[in-house]
Amino acid sequence: MLSPRRSRRTAATVGAALSVALMLSACSGDSGGDSGGGSSDGTIDVWAHTGQASETEALQLLVEKFNSSQEDVTANLTLIPEADYTSTIQATSAEELPDVMEMDAPTMAAFAYDRKLIPLDDVVSSETLDNRISGVTESGTYNDATYAVGMFDVGLGLWGNRALLAEAGIEAPTTAEEAWTTEEFTANLEKLAEVSPSGKAIDLGEANGFAGEWGTFTTTPDLWSAGGTLMKDGKADGVLNSDDNVKALEEWASWREFADPNTSGSAFPDGQTALTWTGNWMYPTFSEALGEDLALMPLPDFGNGTKAGHGSWQWGVTPVAEDAPEAAGSFLDFLLTDESISAMVEANAAVPGSTSSLEQSELYGAGKPLELFATNLESACGSDGVTEECIAVARPVTPGYPTVTSSFGSALLAIWGGAEVKDELDSAARAIDSDFSDNNGYQDD
């Protein structure tokens, strides 16, 4: 994948992307012009992705509430399908962007590097910034500046069906310290395959596509837990294809015989598999289906302690609003109030993004059903400094991330299909290093 600065898109592609954005306005109102934002006249344009239906509805209601709460600023919300969202931003010039836009956390650095975001340290209030949980702070920071703020973060874990676990004589671990070793995990997969109605023990998310971001998000914890990582000091060769990573992904690929491809999309909540490897957003579905039989467990420990990914959708301000950023800042401050965050996380079951809202959470507070995710995020760290104590790890914060995840994802898909792990990681490392070399290591000019 080419970097934003080197990629050149045709006028037709840009036009198509903008057409998607402009067609899908969720909250009507004058945009303040034919393109770009309109903060100078008290109107700001806002882009967001269409997520879960409940999440989208919550955002629409929050925008309406913001608009009715004061008379100085009107926010016009445009929703763009998630599958098209990032490519739409990539295909849109900085001056054609809205004032405020949402983005998936690992894309933030690329947009900041391409001058499509401005620092928020003087745009958003200090109270808002100081109230962020560590995971949101970590994934919103690039070159020691804040470029994104988030209403929530995510947790990744192993979910189990207590009835099937009990039938197999297996007790669910509940804390990071109790995480199964990979040897224990593989042995338990064998036992659980025998009691699972499908004959398969686990859904690893194969139906979501390992070549896409799902693959990177759900398998990088294996690398970090094994003592490896994706890249270090701007280099992938000797890092991505390290012995630790090769061993970890050989272990991961060996689980295929126990994995249900889940073509129905409901293997775990339907009780067809005993385990599934996914995030907090599935809690409403899982808890409704399994009730007290639902167990949340840490991911297996490959030797360096259990790890989990984090980093979710966040908000940033574009150069369109640079001359008068106060309107954009007031909108973001509103979205990051405890009241707004509570409304959103009630809709999507995400980890509240502020310290104060997390303390009040009915899902993530002490003794609550998703406390494990909150505990993991208390020790969040970056992927270039993973320790045994750190659990939640952010994907690399680099403008070259699109190439990193694309190359790694291609390797994952091939490995899952039976290719040699070392060969695929060697190839991915070469592709990443070539791209970084072509782009001067993505150093700011």
pLDDT at 359 over 60: yes
Decide: helix, strand or coil at residue 316: strand
Backbone angles phi, psi at 292, to 5 degrees: -70, -10
Average pLDDT over residues 377-394: 87
How is the chain split into domains, by residue range?
11-154+311-360, 156-309+394-442
Mean pLDDT for the chain overall: 90
Residue percentage of the chain with pLDDT more than 90: 83
Task: Quote the DSSP letter at residue 300.
Answer: P
What pLDDT does 261 receive? Answer: 97
Decide: helix, strand or coil at residue 298: coil
Average pLDDT over residues 266-287: 96
What digits encode the pLDDT tens for the residues 306-357?
Answer: 999 999 999 999 999 998 899 999 999 999 999 999 999 999 999 999 999 9
Whether 11-154+311-360 and 156-309+394-442 share one fold: the answer is: yes
The distance in angstroms from the start CA to the end CA of the chain is: 21
Distances (CA, A) of 351 to 213, 261, 373: 20, 28, 7
pTM: 0.86
| Confidence label for 289 from pLDDT (cuts 50, 70 and 90) | very high
Fold for 156-309+394-442, please state it: D-Maltodextrin-Binding Protein; domain 2 (3.40.190)
What pLDDT does 369 receive? Answer: 94
What pLDDT does 11 receive? Answer: 33
Strands 313-317 and 100-104: antiparallel
The full length of the chain comes to 445
Rounded Cα gap, residues 192 and 439, in angstroms: 48
Under 8 Å between Cβ of 73 and 327: yes
**Residue 2: how many other CB atoms lie within 10 Å:** 14
For domain 11-154+311-360, give its CATH number from 3.40.190.10, 3.40.50.970, 3.30.710.10, 3.40.630.180.
3.40.190.10
Average pLDDT over residues 147-163: 97
Q: Is 283 exposed, middle or buried (0-12, 13-18, 19+ CB in 10 A)?
A: buried
Q: Which of 183-192, 220-229, 380-389, 394-403 has the lowest mean pLDDT?
A: 380-389
What pLDDT does 395 receive? Answer: 92
Torsional sign, CA 366, 371, 375, 381: negative
What digits encode the pLDDT tens for the residues 29-46?
Answer: 333 333 344 444 699 999
Average pLDDT over residues 76-98: 96
